[in-house]
Chain A
Amino acid sequence: MPKNKNDILQGTLALLVLKAIAAQGRMHGYAITAHIQRVSADLLRVEEGSLYPALHRMAQDGWLRAEWGTTEKNRQARFYTITAAGRKQLALEEESWTRLRDGVQRVLRYA
């Protein structure tokens, strides 16, 4: 399968999801994809195929809490909120992302 330009780089999905939920508070899966897509001005698109496994894993790891709730359209949805452990993880991931980005930039500039 040819790689999509706006596929999310492996390993950054957790960062994006945690960041989105940290910023927005309580979100369901669809809102997370929509949010990331919108905020990134369509540069990034979250594959549903990766999102739900990632959400469940993060819930298991205790970074997110999941609960059922009702949307404005009166639909049943599973809402995710970030936990304290999730915030700690987010800080870690942000830091490592910054380092990665700086590193890659330096290589691109000077190599």
Chain B
Amino acid sequence: MSWFARIRNVIRPNGLSDDLDRELSFHIAERIDDLVAHGMTPDAARREARRQFGNYGLQKEYTRERDVFRWLETLLGDLRYALRTLRASPAFALVAILSLALGIGANTAIFSLINAVMLKSLPVSHPEELMVVVRDSSKTATNPIWEYVRDHQDVFSGTFAYSPTQFNLASRGQVRNVYANWVSGAYFSTLGVRAVLGRTLLPADDVRGCPAVAAISSSFWQTEYGGSDAVIGRTVALDGHQFQIVGVIDPAFFGLDVGAHAQIYTPLCAQTIMNGDDKWIDARSTWYLHIVGRPKPGITPAQASARLQMLMPGLVEATLPPNWPPDAAARYQNARMEVASVATGFSDLRTTYRKALFVLMTVVGIVLLIACANVANLLLARATKRQHEIAVRLALGARPARLIRQLLTESVLLALMGAAIGVVFAIWGSHLLLHLMSTSGDAVALDLSLDLPVLAFTAGVAVATGVLFGLAPAWRAARVAPHNAMKSQARGVADGHSRFSVGKALVVAQIALSLLLVAGAVLLLGSWRRLATVDPGFKRDHVLLLAADMRSGNENASPEQRSSLRRQLLDRLRAVPGVRMASASELTPISGAGWNNDIKADGYAPASRDDGLVWMNEVSDGYFSTMGTALITGRDFNTSDVPGSAKVAIVNEALARKVFDTRSPIGQHIQVANGKDYGPPIEIVGVVGNAKYESMRETPQPIAYISMAQDTDPGLSVKVEIRTVGPTTAIIPSIKSAVAEVAPRASLDFTTLDRQVAESLRLPRTLATLAGFFGVLALLLATIGLYGIMSYTVARRRNEIGVRIALGARQSRVVRMVMGEVGLIVGLGVGIGILLTLGLTRLVSVFLYGVAPSDPTTMVLSAVMLAGVAFAAAMLPAWRAAGLDPVTALREN
């Protein structure tokens, strides 16, 4: 047969049928002729010919299946048949499709997030070629390192450095931050990104002493300038400095940072304009740049690494920070230079969320398994109902493989329909997730559009699920012995039910898996609750936090003037009606920012250099009372602490205990590391209670507070804590006008201490919320499964139960009988579930707080909760069994 004929057969299935029909009927006609010639009557001959030929339809089928393309035709037929059967039982179809849609939707949502955060390549030309320079396992470099690499490397055809940052768009008043990038001259040309209007930044823009120019993103162009062409040449204020806009970047490009889309690009050299000096440009220990390059054709990553390593001696000489202690300097000299792929960009999200996303993917995978088990059970029950039909077809000569294939087509169709609805759920779900991950101040931007990998994943999951839940029922249905199946339709035959069917095993598995999810949810929810309510060592409520940047308009202020400005600000704020207390500090707790340093003290020898590290903060007087941190002994900073007076510090209990053990720290001195040396001795004048510094999760860390009033080089960016009498945010307008009296051009950023703490808990909160949601979903699905299997069992045993009741079994006895079976299923499920939970909850141990992964209370609580719900669900069929009217039950058959 020619290829053309085969293809024609598929396109016109009737053509093939006709050919075969004609060929086979010709055969029969010839046979009849022969038989008649031998003396048979035409009628008898026709019958005999048919008999000899066997099953004509089957014959046709066998013959036609020889065709390679035949399966397509069968598939269409099976699909039509499957659609018809699904339409015939819409309730079944609805339940099955909806539970699959939930399962597949959840999987797609989480996968699309994983795809966006970790898998998607950057929208630039040939992202797979891009390499980041890694030095000493770190992807960040100083500007001197960048300049050295740029001027001496010979492996990249193009190379650039950039740093993600944020700029404040507001010249004064409330801060409006946008994500931005400092970029070196070859950034856009190396990436192959173009401007849609004007030009990109060019190497000529990135020279020392450069003018202030900026390129903006297309979305920034749309939202801020309405997409007007006149934007080129206009200026935009960034941190109070005017930058001229030279171009608008291609809308597909969002920078190299996944999750933080850059809106503005400014040349590296413009830092001088921002900072007023070359501090960052020349700093040898300010690590903030990523160096990225595109290797020349033919250069492998290994070769690139080796060639870069050869730059090390010269690089060390040119860039080693001058005042580093010997061990750090030695490490700097011996560091390895290499390259790593950066095809998927940079992402903080990746490190933060990798493990959480993995846990979530596992959780939704389990939910899908539970949903699959439910659909498998529904199909099993239905296959039993269809046993008669299947038996007839088997008796007529249908091959089991053919039947299995048809039943599988049906289940895959169910799964695909579930997937189609699931994709809609997934689109909602993933945006909801993004919302959960974002905070008011830090919106996570991810490209969650459904691309090929996501759709392929969903389709793959759908087909796999279809086969998974369809195989067992199909296999069982097709192995039925026809004569048994047909007999069972006869009157008066009691169903032989196996004590432990496939269906019940599936429910046991469901219960075990839901116990795992419920226990995981209980652990995560408990951890979050404990984190949210643990005493942080300060009082979270009624504290307004203000970040005030008073640099604008005070560029030339002397240290004394700056100090006095900070003093005035605090005095003015304390006088605002409704303000109970106010203080200033370098850092506020749980803000994501930290400052640590080595200290030394008489009689204290740290076990290692890292062991001597303590957290630091610089605070004004009244800080501890404003924050609600207890002063345990000694005194607070006060007005007698001035730049000229003896340096004083306050330490927390953890530091006092660690450094001075049982000695009283009051009157002792500490020295804070300053490069290779240590600063002057600072006298400890007070001890305060332990307070959380960096995260709510931490155990008490040693903290040293130094006096802000004694700072000889005070900055004009200051954090202010304001404890209010009434609602925290109501006071913001009067605070704004009070600041304006002291520094009219200051930028202000408000939050509350309570919100700052809550935002630090967004990951545990998101995870706990989702775990709780999926735990409930799993419980619900398993309950439906148990209810279904028990209803079905009771329905099948109507006859037997009717006989029992007729013979005098009491209702309670019947309920006990049914519940006994439930107890067996639930007991087994819970038992397996506990083993599973003990083995698997270790995976979430990094997310737990104040509870062990194998916490017995959690296990018992989850098991009791699950068993309670399960028994409640099973009571209904049990009662139905007990309430059975024996006469009706027996008459039915």
Contact = CB atoms under 8 A, between A and B. Distances in A.
A28 B63 contact: no
A30 B27 contact: yes
A103 B31 CA distance: 37
B22 interface: yes
Interface residues of B, number: 23
Q: What is the size category of the interface that chain A forms with chain B?
A: 10 to 19
Nearest to B31: A30
B53 A48 contact: yes
Given A30-B31, A49-B62, A66 B1 contact: yes
Given A60-B1, A75-B29, A52 B54 contact: no
Nearest to A66: B1
B54 A30 contact: no
Contacts of B34: 34
B501 to A, nearest CB: 32
Interface in A1-55: 28-30, 34, 47-49, 52-53
A49 B54 contact: yes
Contacts of A57: 66
Contacts of B33: 73
A91 interface: no
Contact of A60 (B19, B31, B66): B66
Contact of B23 (A29, A34, A49, A73): A29
16 contacts: A34-B34, A48-B27, A48-B52, A48-B53, A49-B54, A53-B62, A53-B63, A53-B66, A56-B1, A56-B63, A59-B1, A60-B67, A73-B33, A75-B26, A75-B29, A76-B26
Contacts, number: 53
Contacts of B66: 53, 56-57, 60
A79 to B, nearest CB: 10
B729 interface: no
A53 B66 CA distance: 7
Contact of A30 (B20, B26, B59, B67): B26
Contact of B19 (A30, A34, A73, A78): A78
Interface of A: 28-30, 34, 47-49, 52-53, 56-57, 59-60, 66, 73, 75-78
Instruction: Identify which of B30, B33, B52, B65 gathers the most chain A CB atoms within 10 Å of its CB.
Output: B30
Nearest to B58: A49
Given A29-B27, A75-B29, A52 B1 contact: no
Contacts of B53: 48-49
B63 A77 contact: no
B24 interface: yes
A77 B59 contact: no
Interface string B656-683: 0000000000000000000000000000
A87 to B, nearest CB: 19
Given A53-B66, A60-B66, A78-B23, 14 more contacts: A29-B26, A30-B26, A30-B30, A30-B31, A34-B34, A48-B27, A49-B53, A49-B54, A49-B62, A52-B27, A53-B63, A57-B66, A59-B1, A76-B26
Interface in B39-64: 52-54, 59, 62-63
A30 B24 CA distance: 9
Nearest to B54: A49
Contact of B59 (A52, A60, A78): A52
A62 B62 CA distance: 19
A71 to B, nearest CB: 8
B53 to A, nearest CB: 5
Contacts of B31: 30
A75 B52 CA distance: 21
B26 A78 contact: yes
Contacts of A34: 34
Instruction: Identify which of B23, B31, B52 gathers the most chain A CB atoms within 10 Å of its CB.
Output: B23
A37 B26 CA distance: 18
B46 to A, nearest CB: 15
Closest 8 CB pairs of A and B: A30-B30, A56-B66, A52-B63, A78-B23, A77-B26, A53-B63, A30-B27, A53-B62
B1 A48 contact: no
Nearest to A62: B1
Given A30-B30, A53-B66, A76 B22 contact: yes
Contacts of B1: 56, 59-60, 66
Nearest to B6: A60
